[in-house]
Amino acid sequence: MILVVKKGIIEEIFSKAQFSKEANLYIVSFRDFEKIREITLPNFIIESDNFQKIPASRITEIRRSHTILFEKISKQDE
């Protein structure tokens, strides 16, 4: 159930940001093997092939400017 809620939040952020004039202000952090990569939201959509190559479950954080919109809480933090 948590995955569904998390995916809903991510989808909501992406749908609002994707067509925004300021889409490049959104930064997506995601797991890429053993490291965390950060790219702009439009570049993430292209690189992930619309979530086909990089699933939403690998997203660790989404922020706009310096405001965190989504942050994945790891099991180690709980």
Q: In the chain, where are the structural domains located?
A: 2-71
Provide the phi-psi class of 50: left if phi over 0, else alpha when psi is between -120 and 50, else beta: left
Residues forming a β-bridge with 36: 31
Whose tokens are 């809903």? That residue is 8
For residue 47, the model assigns a pLDDT of 95
- The DSSP element (H or E) to which 23 belongs, if any, is none
Q: What is the pLDDT of residues 24-37, one digit of tens each?
A: 999 999 999 899 99
What are the structure tokens assigned to 44, written together?
A: 């993430």
For residue 68, the model assigns a pLDDT of 95
Full-model pTM: 0.82
pLDDT mean across residues, the chain: 86
For residue 51, the model assigns a pLDDT of 87
